[in-house]
Amino acid sequence: MKFRFWGVRGSIPAPGPHTARYGGNTTCIEVRTDADTLIILDGGTGIFPLAQSLLRQLPVSAHIFITHSHWDHIQGLPFFTPLFIPGNGVRLYGAADPVTGEGVEQVMAVQLQYSFFPVREAEMKADISYQALTMSESVEVEDAMVTPTLLNHPVINLGYRVACNGKSLFFTGDHEPHYNIYEESDAEYAEYQASIDERRKALDDAMRGVDALIVDCSYTKEEYPAKKGWGHGHFDSAIAMALRVGTKRLYCTHHEPTRSDDDLDKIFADVMARHAGQLGGLQVCLAREGLEVEL
């Protein structure tokens, strides 16, 4: 199994000379199983260059797993070129809205309104289908198993564990470390902390032992207090999580769009220096567009 990053920025695309080295597209990861099954994690703007690469190998059969419905994770979907070509098959997976009950098909329906996009789904020529996911219930995708897990974000956000022939990866989408909203002196503190501990254990168990962990690292630990509650993590929390679950490799992604490549390099160097001697065998690296990893 292998995977490739096609988009590594968060919140909004950030193209330009200062982001050319790591890339300016928003989240999209291509996963290829041993049997060459195509699994795509999120449909940010990075899905467009991925789509162009797929045109050399028609027909396309793609399984697209959406972590959540924020724009930077879905805004490339209407531009996924295989959707327009007869003979292709595209299946989208995601959570159902707990309030409305609407499934992942709503992600496409909203974007394809004439107010926002000139082509309706009925005019797309591929075979398009949808599947709503049940939390922690694995889905068989040809020779792979994909298991969704609930993470911590202002909307329903599913992290995905993808496993094939003894190899596995976990992608968080957007995730903020769980924290207690009460003061220790508050009567509600202990009960809420027990809930947090339970949720963190369930998440750690879902990630445990993966060969690669791909994590939202939007902020530094110094920036995080001002962003608390926004639904994103930082480098130090990602490293702590990777060490807890025993992964071999950690890939830091969802780069803050205002950061230049040079800024990222400096921040990452500081993080690694601070954790020198604490990582054991854990490899940590910054995700960049075009980076391909074989497990």
Residues 203, 201: Cα–Cα separation, whole Å = 5
pLDDT at 146 over 80: yes
Task: Give tens-digit pLDDT for 12-53.
Answer: 999 999 999 999 999 999 999 999 999 999 999 999 999 999
Report the pLDDT value the prediction gives residue 107, as an integer from 0 to 100: 87
Show the tokens assigned to 235: 């480098």
Task: List strands edge to edge, sheet with 139-141.
Answer: 139-141, 144-150, 158-164, 167-171, 212-216, 249-253, 283-286
Contact 175, 216 (CB under 8 A): yes
CA–centroid distance for 179 within its chain: 21
pLDDT at 4 over 90: yes
Task: Give tens-digit pLDDT for 147-191.
Answer: 999 999 999 999 999 999 999 999 999 999 999 999 999 999 999
pLDDT at 83 over 90: yes
Report the pLDDT value the prediction gives residue 19, as an integer from 0 to 100: 98
CA–centroid distance for 149 within its chain: 12
Report the pLDDT value the prediction gives residue 43, as an integer from 0 to 100: 98
Show the tokens assigned to 226: 């001002």
Superfamily, domain 2-294:
Ribonuclease Z/Hydroxyacylglutathione hydrolase-like (3.60.15.10)
Return all residues near 177 (Cβ < 8 A) that are at least 6 apart. Answer: 152, 233, 237, 241
Report the pLDDT value the prediction gives residue 144, as an integer from 0 to 100: 98
The overall average pLDDT reported for the chain is: 95
Amino acid present at 240: A
CA–centroid distance for 61 within its chain: 20
Report the pLDDT value the prediction gives residue 122, as an integer from 0 to 100: 87
Q: Which residue has the tokens 């490799």?
A: 249
Q: Could you give the C-alpha distances from 224 to 22, 147, 220, 268, in angstroms and in order?
A: 22, 29, 6, 15
Instruction: Tell me the average pLDDT across 71-81.
Output: 96
Give the DSSP letter of residue 202.
H
pLDDT at 98 over 90: no
Which sequence spans correspond to the domains of the chain?
Answer: 2-294
